[in-house]
Amino acid sequence: MIKDIIKKLKPSATLLINEQSKALEAKGKKIYKFGFGQSPFPVPTDVVEELKRNAHQNKYLPMQGLFELRDSVSKYLTKNKKNKYEADNIMIGPGTKELMLLLQIAFEGDILLPIPSWVSYFPQALIGRNKIHWLNTKKENNWFPSAEEIERTVIKNKMKKYILFLNSPNNPSGNICKNLNEICDVIKKYNIIVLSDEIYSELAFESNCKFISDICPEKTIISTGLSKWCGAGGWRLGFFAFPDELKEIKSSLKILASESFSSVSAPIQFATISAYSNDHSKYIDSTKNILKSVGLFVYNTLKSNNVLINKPDGGFYLMPEFINNKFKTSSEMCNKILNDTGVAMLPGSEFGFSEEKMLARLSFTDFDGSEFLNNTVGCKNIDEKLLIKFAPNMVDGVNKLKKWSENL
Ligand SMILES: Cc1ncc(COP(=O)(O)O)c(C=O)c1O
């Protein structure tokens, strides 16, 4: 009685690793939660206050989202992007994940997914019954596909429509996409649409970081929201910004929204106006400073001849490769690491890599973000002493992992 396509889906690896971690914790083992991808920081207080002030908002809001919110997002984007996105080009959803699912349902064509890709793109493409083409990448190219790799895939059927998913800064690699110009050339040449998943864009460590939406806005849907920079994953608010050239897609998503979630929770939408119109640069800089310091500590501690990693460029992940012949699959390796050290990570196979590639995603957010933030506001240099004080699980867990890797 269940559709074959749905039977193909399996429970997400994050849930499994959490269950396993809980079972070990129940037996008294100390677990380092490096498998979970959630912002450790609190929502800025002015935004929380706005939510309190708007608890009484009880009406259904427009399917595309509250005008005042779309307007504040539009002004925010206009400040940061060259392309102009009017309020009518913005679509508000209950998290970007839901909007991406609606996109997969509406779109008739094939999906181009770099290896690695965020865990939900692939199952959502299956649900949308879209054919998936995996694109190989290299560590040396920051784990993003080259234009050549994209061209090699689409040239096989130039008549097809394609959406390329590009996520920078990336989950799981923590890297940003640098070969934007060549990607832009190839997407223009073959009329490819890009879903630019910029959910970690505010957390790019270097300033003036560029995205594909800056280079090739007319072909790009921007996908972002509150979940990562604002520490508000549980609030469930994300948005798509469409260029005029792709507004037809927006119209279809609007209809799908009206037949599914109707509109995002009213108090959350009212509160989010302040998230995009007030100045949160101090909050963002402080959280970024912490993430960068923790990320660099993990990178510098772990990297060795046995552990290859790229330096993280943003967000809160990095992706070590453990050079060994001991394990058949990355899941087997992650299980062994969890049992031996208590460090929970997700295997690379969850992100599209072949099982024998010994990669894992390490999320460096196992610390109390409120405490760390309150004690380091305005602090430029977060040294190891502060890390030991405010991120002791990160320091202990990474040192355990390092020791484990020395015996590979
Ligand atoms: C790369 C990436 N894209 C999208 C999402 C979904 O975010 P949202 O909370 O907006 O649904 C996540 C959340 O983990 C993510 O890591």
Main-chain dihedrals φ then ψ at residue 107, nearest 5 degrees: -80, 135
DSSP 297: H
The rounded Å distance from CA 165 to ligand 1 centre is 13
User: What per-residue confidence (pLDDT) applies to 8?
Assistant: 86
Per-residue pLDDT of the chain (408 residues; tens, 9 = 90+): 999 888 888 877 677 787 888 899 999 999 999 998 899 999 999 999 999 999 999 999 999 999 999 999 999 999 989 899 999 999 999 999 999 999 999 999 999 999 999 999 999 999 999 999 999 999 999 999 999 999 999 999 989 999 999 999 999 999 999 999 999 999 999 999 999 999 999 999 998 899 999 999 999 999 999 999 999 999 999 999 999 999 999 999 999 999 999 999 999 999 999 999 999 999 999 999 999 999 999 999 999 999 999 999 999 999 999 999 999 999 999 999 999 999 999 999 999 999 999 999 999 999 999 999 999 987 889 999 999 999 999 999 999 999 999 998
CATH of domain 45-277: 3.40.640.10
Other Cβ atoms less than 10 A from the Cβ of 331: the count is 19
Beta carbons of 157 and 174 less than 8 angstroms apart: no
Domain borders along the chain are 4-42+281-406, 45-277
For ligand 1, say whether the CB of 169 is within 6 Å of any of its atoms: no
Q: Which atom of ligand 1 is nearest to the CA of 197?
A: 3
For ligand 1, say whether the CB of 97 is within 6 Å of any of its atoms: yes
Q: In what order do the strands lie in the sheet with 360-363?
A: 317-318, 360-363, 346-347
Nearest CA to ligand 1 atom 6: 97
For ligand 1, say whether the CB of 174 is within 6 Å of any of its atoms: no
- What fold is seen in the domain 4-42+281-406? Aspartate Aminotransferase, domain 1 (3.90.1150)
The rounded Å distance from CA 173 to ligand 1 centre is 14
In total, the chain counts a number of residues equal to 408
DSSP conformation letters of 348-365? GGGGT--TTS-BEEEE--
Beta carbons of 370 and 42 less than 8 angstroms apart: yes
User: What per-residue confidence (pLDDT) applies to 14?
Assistant: 72
User: What per-residue confidence (pLDDT) applies to 18?
Assistant: 79
The rounded Å distance from CA 157 to ligand 1 centre is 30
Q: Which atom of ligand 1 is nearest to the CA of 226?
A: 10
Beta carbons of 236 and 225 less than 8 angstroms apart: no
DSSP 21: H
Q: Retrieve residue 173's tokens.
A: 């690699």
Fold match flag (4-42+281-406 vs 45-277): no
* 372 vs 196: CA distance, rounded Å: 31
Q: What is the 3-state secondary structure (H, E, C) of 166-224?
A: EECCCCCCCCCCCCHHHHHHHHHHCCCEEEEECCCHHHECCCCCCCHHHHCHHHEEEEE
Q: Which atom of ligand 1 is nearest to the CA of 118?
A: 1
Q: Does the predicted model carry a pTM greater than 0.95?
A: yes
The rounded Å distance from CA 274 to ligand 1 centre is 21
Residue to mutate, 199, 223, 272, 317, ligand 1, most ligand atoms under 8 Å from C-beta: 199
What amino acid occupies position 51? Answer: L
User: What per-residue confidence (pLDDT) applies to 247?
Assistant: 94
Q: Retrieve residue 370's tokens.
A: 């409120």
